[in-house]
Amino acid sequence: MTYSPLPQKEFLRPLLETTAQDLEGAVEFSIYGPVAAVHQVLQGMRALGRGTVLFINGGSGARPSAKVAGTSIAFAGESAFAQMLHDELAEENIHVGQLIIPGEITEGSDTKDPQVLAEKLWDLHADRKDFRVFAEPMDR
């Protein structure tokens, strides 16, 4: 299973302009959505004794930014959920991982071309080692 919906523009507001109401959609989208999706497939994976759940997030999923408060806050919750799943399910041969793609997916890019990203996702699934992988290094 892969979870990677595209956030809406209202999730990308600056922190000091973001209200609690502004966060409702981002939390539903980035926390409730993946929890519901994982709930639908996890019982089958556990019965089989194997599976992979991959989360794909933008850069604010790993490095919060006041410029995009909604995704930064909601992705933090999604990342925590994914990390906890990773830790809890590892002994059951169910791998949970996260690919962080800073910025836009760009055809022809050495690091963010769709084919390059598909290969990174396959490697994250096949290697089953790391929880979090970056499409490209992020400056701090």
Which sequence spans correspond to the domains of the chain? 6-134
Per-residue pLDDT tens for 25-42? Answer: 899 989 999 999 999 999
Q: Is the domain covering 6-134 a CATH 3.40.50.720 domain?
A: yes
The enclosing H or E element of 101 equals: strand 94-101
Per-residue pLDDT tens for 64-106? Answer: 999 999 989 999 999 999 999 999 999 999 999 999 999 889 9
The enclosing H or E element of 123 equals: helix 114-127
**E strand map for 19-93:** 51-58
Q: What pTM value is reported for the model?
A: 0.89
Rounded (5°) CA angle 55-61-67: 145
